[in-house]
């Protein structure tokens, strides 16, 4: 995976003096938040849906009371 390139003019320190480590940490955080996420989540699978395991409402036919 290639790291995103941040142009030098994209970051401007207005106040204070950062050490090299602090600047590297700032650039790493900005690069991580600017990078695109992985693949979008796949749509849910109907076979994996827990509601599928629930019994549906039964519609008994003639003589169904005898099979109880």
Is residue 15 situated within a structural domain? yes
* Residue-range definition of the domain harbouring residue 21: 7-37
Q: Which residues contact 11 (CB under 8 A, 6 or more apart)?
A: 26, 27, 30
Is residue 62 situated within a structural domain? no
Number of domain units in the chain: 1
* CA separation for the pair 5, 31 (Å, rounded): 8
Is residue 12 situated within a structural domain? yes
Question: Which pLDDT tens digits describe the chain residue by residue (68 residues)?
Answer: 566 666 666 667 788 888 889 988 988 888 887 767 677 778 888 888 887 777 666 667 777 766 65
Q: Residue 40's Cα: distance from chain center in Å?
A: 7
Using a cut of 0.85, tell me whether the model's pTM lies above it: no
Is residue 46 situated within a structural domain? no
C-alpha dihedral over 52, 57, 62, 66, to 10 degrees? Answer: 90
């Amino acid at each position: 995976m290639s790291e995103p390139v941040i142009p030098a003019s994209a970051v401007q320190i207005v106040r204070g003096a950062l050490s090299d480590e602090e600047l590297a940490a700032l650039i790493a955080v900005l690069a991580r938040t600017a990078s695109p996420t992985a693949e979008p989540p796949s749509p849910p699978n109907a076979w994996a849906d827990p509601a599928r395991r629930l019994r549906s409402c039964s519609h008994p036919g003639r003589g169904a009371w005898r099979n109880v």
